[in-house]
Amino acid sequence: MALEQSQHHCNQCGKPTLHQRNTRESSHLGCLIVVVVLGIVSFIFPLALIVTVPVLIIAIPVVFLLVLVSLLTPQPPFRCAHCGQVVGELTSKQKAATAQEQSIESIAMHELRAEQARALAAKMRRACVKSFELLQSASRGLGRFVETAVSQVNRLLLKMVGGEENIILYRFLQVIVVSIPFAVIAIPMAISSSNRHAEQARIEAANQGVRQAVEKAEKWIQVGQLANADQIEEGLNSAEADAVATQKTSVATTLAAFRNIKVERQAARILESALKFIAQKQFDKAQRFLRQYREHPYATEQQKARTLLSEITLATSDEDALRTLLAMDDKAFSALSNGSAMPAIPSITHPVLLETRIDTLKRNVAEAGRQREEQRKKAEAEQLAEKEAIQRSKQLAAKAIQKEKEAAERLEQLAAKAKQDEEDKKQHLAASCPLSIEGLPFDRDVIGTPQIKLRVRNRESQSIEAFKVVVACYNKFGDPINRGFGGNEKTLIYQQKIDARELIVTNGSWAFYGYDAATRFKVTVVQVKMGDGTEWSPPKGFEDVNSKSYEVTK
């Protein structure tokens, strides 16, 4: 035994895989070597022929027999190393598909064979007619030949008898010789006639069988009993395949009509069985037959079967009955519970299923009543909880409104206090500024340029060495007047000493070139240098605390 491996496509794995098998190997080469060695020894040593010849006579047939057996013995098939599938063997799905294809091919082959049988029967009939004509021609030729032979034999008999004393023997021989041609002609004709009558009888019998099969099928089509349908179909198939019958023109049409009506009546019988089980209230069996009917390719009442299936499901469903009972109003449920009135069920038309639906509803009345009571209590509890929640919400809303109102009042108080504090701080900062602006002497030069002086007072008990102010310029509408990149502000610095508590007007004036249209001026103290070296400036955010605005008319 040896392991042989090969690469093949596996139908089960769906891809090329490694296949292997165990092979049976015989020592044919060893036997052949032994035979060759014995031959060489016999050629070199002639005396060894006494031993080698008998051995060769036995060994050579044995070797050829072993080789022949090895060649004729089939090797085991290759199998997939992963799944064990035999190479070339089809899977179950492939076998089913192949079987379906083979069934279709067998039907086509059956029709082809029937056609070939009809053609062969026609050929046989033509051959029989031709052979009969040839036989008649041969019989006529044979008769002429026999007639010539009889005349020759007659002359020969006259010579053999040779006299009137043997006239009886002559007449006897003449009668025998004359009857020979009639026998030679009559016997083949009788045989041919007998064969022709037998052939006609077989054809008539076959045609009679075809007519009977067609009549039975037509009668079955009118009556439609499924009990003997297979026998009638088998008879039609046999009639169609009969090579002897000549009157088969209506067999194929009748067979096709028979098969169509057969499958249609089979489907109708399935639907009838389903209706029968519905009448018996065996709804599981009825559903099974209805599903089988819907899957049938010749089912003509699909809508009816679908409606019956849905009605059976509705009529027997306890869950749907509970949903229906729970959805009823109290008046309809009470009437159903008391039996005084039944609900309308327009979705069910079959009377048995309608009765079953009502029974299902009655069977679930107690459970539905319990659940309806639970739903009522739950609804009441939910309503009560909703009312309490609304009341709590109103109370919480009132409290929230009150708190918001209080918070708004506190915020207003805090804002007012902050504003007052800011005013107080501004007043304090304004009061703490050592320099106050008391006036803005204003004039224009000959070309209309504003000339400004400042009237200031030293509030402190010590002198002021210098101060710095910022003057912002505006027109009559309050719009800032910009002078190029300098903007609308100009910084003024005064560096002459101002004594304690002294009110002065600055010496000289500041010319505001480019601000000819200015009529309003805002003066802000930004820095003051005291005599003791300390400096004052407003805190950040309170730069305008010591600002004063002036409007001029010139």
Tens of pLDDT, residue by residue over 236-269, are 777 777 666 666 677 777 777 777 877 788 888 8
d(CA 25, CA 504): 140
List Cα–Cα distances, 280 to 285, 310, 352, in angstroms.
10, 18, 9
| Residue from 86, 98, 97 nearest 8 by CA | 86
Place of tokens 């560096």: 495
The stretch 388-392 carries a mean pLDDT of 90
pLDDT over 90, % of the chain: 13
Tokens of 542: 């309170």
Indicate the domain borders of the chain.
Answer: 2-80, 92-221, 273-363, 372-432, 434-551
d(CA 522, CA 427): 18
The stretch 441-452 carries a mean pLDDT of 89
Tokens of 97: 């598909």
Top mean-pLDDT range of 76-90, 163-177, 284-298, 539-553: 284-298
Q: How confident is the model at residue 99 (pLDDT cuts 50, 70, 90)?
A: low
Helix axes 351-363, 251-279, angle to 10 degrees: 30
Tokens of 32: 């052949």
Residue 383 or 45, more confident: 383
Q: How confident is the model at residue 427 (pLDDT cuts 50, 70, 90)?
A: low
- Total residues found in the chain within this entry: 554
Residue 47 or 339, more confident: 339
DSSP for 264-321 reads HHHHHHHHHHHHHHHHTT-HHHHHHHHHHHHH-TT-S-HHHHHHHHHHHHHHH-HHHH
The stretch 113-139 carries a mean pLDDT of 67
pLDDT over 70, % of the chain: 66
Return the pLDDT at 192.
54
Which residues are 468's β-sheet partners?
Answer: 493, 527
CA distance from start to end of the chain: 135
Whole-number average pLDDT of the chain: 76
Amino acid making up residue 309:
L
Residue 375 or 66, more confident: 375
Tokens of 205: 């019998």
Cβ neighbours, 10 Å, residue 437: 19
Domain spanning 434-551, CATH architecture: Sandwich (2.60)
| Residue from 328, 322, 327 nearest 360 by CA | 322
Residue 514 or 127, more confident: 514
Q: How confident is the model at residue 455 (pLDDT cuts 50, 70, 90)?
A: very high
Residue 26 or 148, more confident: 148
468: pLDDT strictly greater than 90:
yes
List Cα–Cα distances, 450 to 335, 480, 504, 509, 547, in angstroms.
106, 16, 20, 10, 20
Return the pLDDT at 343.
77
185: pLDDT strictly greater than 90:
no
The stretch 73-82 carries a mean pLDDT of 70
pLDDT, tens digit (0-9, with 9 covering 90-100), for 477-513: 989 988 766 688 889 999 999 999 999 999 888 998 8
Full-model pTM: 0.38
Q: How confident is the model at residue 171 (pLDDT cuts 50, 70, 90)?
A: low
The sign one gets for the Cα dihedral 202, 207, 212, 216 is positive
The stretch 382-405 carries a mean pLDDT of 89
The stretch 548-554 carries a mean pLDDT of 84
Tokens of 549: 């605005």
* Contact criterion met (CB below 8 Å) for 435 and 538: no
Q: How confident is the model at residue 165 (pLDDT cuts 50, 70, 90)?
A: very low
Q: How confident is the model at residue 470 (pLDDT cuts 50, 70, 90)?
A: very high
* Contact criterion met (CB below 8 Å) for 183 and 146: no
d(CA 411, CA 490): 40
The stretch 217-227 carries a mean pLDDT of 69
pLDDT, tens digit (0-9, with 9 covering 90-100), for 196-212: 667 777 777 777 777 77
d(CA 14, CA 369): 61
Tokens of 118: 């009809």
Top mean-pLDDT range of 64-78, 116-130, 288-302: 288-302
272: pLDDT strictly greater than 80:
yes
441: pLDDT strictly greater than 80:
yes
216: pLDDT strictly greater than 90:
no
The stretch 154-180 carries a mean pLDDT of 53
DSSP 77: P
Which residues, 6+ apart, have CB-to-CB distance to 204 below 8 Å?
none
d(CA 455, CA 20): 123
